[in-house]
């Protein structure tokens, strides 16, 4: 891996880097645990028995916040904040701002070249300016429901071609499932 401002940087799409990340993270956890145990012993005083500091659980799968993203016919970016799209299939917020601020267009969930490929969450077609917005659970849930519903409908109603799916029909299905699709909701909230 390379170094960045806070430590090692590992790619999530390279097997050697994934292995190196697992080894390095275990080493860092072991060092942190030893420091916490020493701190607890020092706080208890000389000769006293300190409360134990133990590691209860460690991730079994390496976690990567960013790896790859879909290249779709449309890429969502910060410049699209408070913008309504006619092919919107969900709304999401930015955890740093009040209210829903992004409408998510179907075009950001489907592949530009692979007509039967859909992605959701951090894998959707977006740029770095909104990556923190796309990786959080609410956005993953909204885009996952939209991508899954679109895929099911594409199989049932087309030859599996997501780009041939009638957007209005998809939007009707999503709203019947409780998905909010209202252009008024993405307008800026007054302070």
Secondary structure, 3-state, the chain = CEEECCEEECCCCCHHHHHHHHHHHHHHHHHHHHHHHHHHHHHHCCCCCCCCCCCCCCCCCCCCCCCCCCCCCCCECHHHCCCCCCCEEEEEECCCCCCEEEEEEHHHCECCCCCCCECCHHHCCECHHHHHHHCCHHHHHHHHHHHHHHHHHHHHHCCCCHHHCCHHHHHHHHHHCCCCCCHHHHCCCCC
Whether 168 and 100 share a structural domain:
yes
pLDDT at 49: 62
pLDDT at 9: 73
pLDDT at 22: 87
Q: Share the mean pLDDT of the chain.
A: 87
Whether 87 and 50 share a structural domain:
no
Indicate whether 70 belongs to any domain. Answer: no
Count structural domains, the chain. Answer: 2
Indicate whether 35 belongs to any domain. Answer: yes
Indicate whether 73 belongs to any domain. Answer: no
- Domain span at 86: 78-186
Whether 4 and 88 share a structural domain:
no
Indicate whether 60 belongs to any domain. Answer: yes
Whether 113 and 146 share a structural domain:
yes
pLDDT at 176: 98
pTM: 0.74
pLDDT at 5: 45
Whether 110 and 171 share a structural domain:
yes
Whether 116 and 178 share a structural domain:
yes
pLDDT at 47: 63
Whether 103 and 130 share a structural domain:
yes
Whether 85 and 112 share a structural domain:
yes
Indicate whether 72 belongs to any domain. Answer: no
Low pLDDT (below 70) residues in the chain: 1-8, 46-51, 191
């Amino acid at each position: 891996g390379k170094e960045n401002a806070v430590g090692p940087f590992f790619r999530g799409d390279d097997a050697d880097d994934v292995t190196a990340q697992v080894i390095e993270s275990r080493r860092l956890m072991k060092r942190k645990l030893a420091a916490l145990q020493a701190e607890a012993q020092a706080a208890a005083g000389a000769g006293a028995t300190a409360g134990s500091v133990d590691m209860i659980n460690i991730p079994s799968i390496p976690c990567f916040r960013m790896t790859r993203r879909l290249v779709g016919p449309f890429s969502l970016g910060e410049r699209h904040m408070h913008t309504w799209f006619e092919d919107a299939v969900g709304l999401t917020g930015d955890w740093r701002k009040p209210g829903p601020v992004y409408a998510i267009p179907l075009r950001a969930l489907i592949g530009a070249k692979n007509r039967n490929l859909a992605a959701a969450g951090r894998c959707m077609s977006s740029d770095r300016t909104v990556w923190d917005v796309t990786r959080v659970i609410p956005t993953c849930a909204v885009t996952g429901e939209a991508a899954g519903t679109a895929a099911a409908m594409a199989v049932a109603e087309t030859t599996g071609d997501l780009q041939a799916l009638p957007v209005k029909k998809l939007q009707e299905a999503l709203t019947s499932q409780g998905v909010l699709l209202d252009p008024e909701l993405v307008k800026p909230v007054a302070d």
